Copies of this chain bind each other. A is one copy, B any other.
Amino acid sequence: MRPGLEALPGRWAGGAALALGLALLVRGWRRRRPAPRREVLFFPSPATCPAALLGEPGPAPCPCPCPCPLPHGDSPLARLLRRLLSARRSLELCLFAFSSPPLGRAVQLLHRRGVRVRLVTDSGSMGLTGSQIGRLRQAGIQVRHDQESGYMHHKFAIVDKKMLITGSLNWTTQAIQSNRENVLIVEDAEYVEPFLAEFERMWEEYNPANYTFFPNKKEQK
User: A residues within 8 Å of B by Cβ?
Assistant: 2-5, 8, 11-20, 23, 38-40, 42, 44, 96, 146, 148-156, 166-169, 174-175, 177-182, 184, 186, 188, 190-191, 194-195, 198, 202
Contacts and interface: CB of A to CB of B under 8 A. Distances in A.
B198 A42 contact: yes
Contact of A168 (B12, B14, B155, B178): B155
Contacts of A5: 4
Say what secondary structure dominates the interface of chain A: mixed
Contact of A19 (B3, B23, B153): B23
Given A40-B194, A154-B168, 9 more contacts: A3-B3, A12-B14, A12-B15, A13-B15, A14-B15, A19-B23, A153-B169, A153-B181, A156-B168
Copies in the complex: 2
A180 B150 contact: yes
A41 to B, nearest CB: 9
18 contacts: A2-B4, A3-B3, A11-B12, A13-B15, A19-B19, A42-B194, A146-B180, A150-B178, A151-B180, A153-B169, A153-B175, A153-B179, A153-B180, A156-B168, A166-B168, A168-B168, A180-B202, A188-B188
Top 4 nearest A-B pairs (CB, nearest first) are A4-B4, A15-B15, A150-B178, A12-B15
Contacts of A152: 179-180
A86 B149 CA distance: 33
Given A4-B5, A182-B198, A191 B14 contact: no
A191 B40 contact: yes
B150 A38 contact: no
Contacts of A169: 153
A4 B8 CA distance: 9
A168 B97 CA distance: 12
A155 B167 CA distance: 9
B166 A179 contact: no
Contacts of A38: 188, 190-191
Contacts of A155: 168
A153 B168 contact: yes
